[in-house]
Chains A and B, each alone.
Chain A
Amino acid sequence: MPATHDLAAALARKFPQVAPRASTDWPAFNIPADQALTALQWLRDEAGFDMLTDLTAIDWSAAASPRFTVVWHLTSTSRFDCVRIAAACADDTSPSMPSAIALWPSANWHEREAYDMFGIAFPGHPDLRRILMWDGYPYHPLRKEFPLAGLDAPLPDAEVAEETGARVQAAPYMGGPFVATPGESAGVAEPCGRDQSWSEGKEKPAP
């Protein structure tokens, strides 16, 4: 099995387009999206990274291109070694990345979460539904243009929504339980209030 320092060399020999990625802890590599699955399979079968510990995504910003990056964290349970692989999604408006479920079944819920929060599709996933928000929720909350307070949407249950008149509304930022001084701006008083993309004091942005 290759030690950490020759992992980069072995990976570069096998996949010439691999580039090292800035990292403060484990070795990390950027890989083109079309080679991601074959590289992951090589890491699993040849380099001994038999466990997928995390699969997540990054939204760089609405203006950035490539906008979305999918990140895999792999662990070797025999060497107690980790590696981080990142691949940028080609399409900025309807991003997609091949599913890693065939390699690690644990990718299932991680990919559903990335789909729920970022709207990244994973072709090959057997059951790509939202995992945290409910089916039919119109937004992807971890995208950069989505305000932390939320946006107006109907309740998941139309019957209850009709009976109670309740809706999914943007959460109030002014006031609240952690306001230190009365009259102090919520942006200072509450950590989450630093996201001032919307609050009662400002005009609500169009979704």
Chain B
Amino acid sequence: MASHHNELSYDSKIEGDVVVSRLDAVINWIRTNSVWPMPMGLACCAIELMGSGGSRFDIARFGAEVMRFSPRQADCMIVSGTVTYKMAPQVRRLYDQMPAPKWVIAMGACASSGGMYRSYATLQGVDRILPVDVYLSGCPPRPEALLDALVKLQQKIRREPAASRLFRA
């Protein structure tokens, strides 16, 4: 039901077409609610990632449903699975192809630390080749945990000095 007590919200009759705010707040508001993930699905965590995209958990509630399979259209790489040494350079190359600003979620034990694969073939944590923003525990983590990691990432994005970075380059 629409409320008619809307004096506290934006009123175009009073304020016209102008909203006054901080640039940081505006940019971060946009970025926070339109995270386009790049699903770097490498193992069973990717199944949970798909689950969080489905209707039951529905990552779209947080504005991150637009999974882009091209790194050029994504700004958040979700490394979901075991990163082998053979795959590691490709993961890094895909990350390099993403346009800035970009973030990384290391989903699950393997991506965070190598997990149970303490062996010759597995990179012991994707943070050896990528700057990771959020580490997510679990083997694999449930979709709720991934949504929690996404909310944590959104909180981080909200605190960024986006405007100063925008004009620094």
The chain A residues found within 8 Å of chain B, CB to CB, are 132-134, 139, 141, 146-151, 155-157, 159-161, 163-164, 166, 168-173, 176-178, 190, 192-193
Contact = CB atoms under 8 A, between A and B. Distances in A.
B152 interface: no
Q: How large is the interface on B (under 10, 10 to 19, 20 to 34, 35 or more residues)?
A: 20 to 34
Interface string B96-140: 000000000000010001111111111110001100000000010
B119 to A, nearest CB: 6
Contacts, number: 73
Given A146-B120, A171-B119, 8 more contacts: A148-B119, A150-B121, A155-B85, A157-B89, A164-B92, A173-B118, A176-B113, A177-B139
Contacts of A148: 118-120
A75 B55 CA distance: 46
Contacts of B124: 169, 171-172
B88 A149 contact: no
B13 interface: no
A150 B84 CA distance: 13
Top 8 nearest A-B pairs by Cβ distance? A150-B120, A157-B89, A160-B89, A171-B118, A164-B129, A166-B128, A160-B92, A134-B86
Contact of A164 (B85, B113, B128, B139): B128
Contacts of A132: 86, 121
B5 interface: no
A92 to B, nearest CB: 23
A174 B21 CA distance: 52
Contacts of A166: 88, 123, 128-129
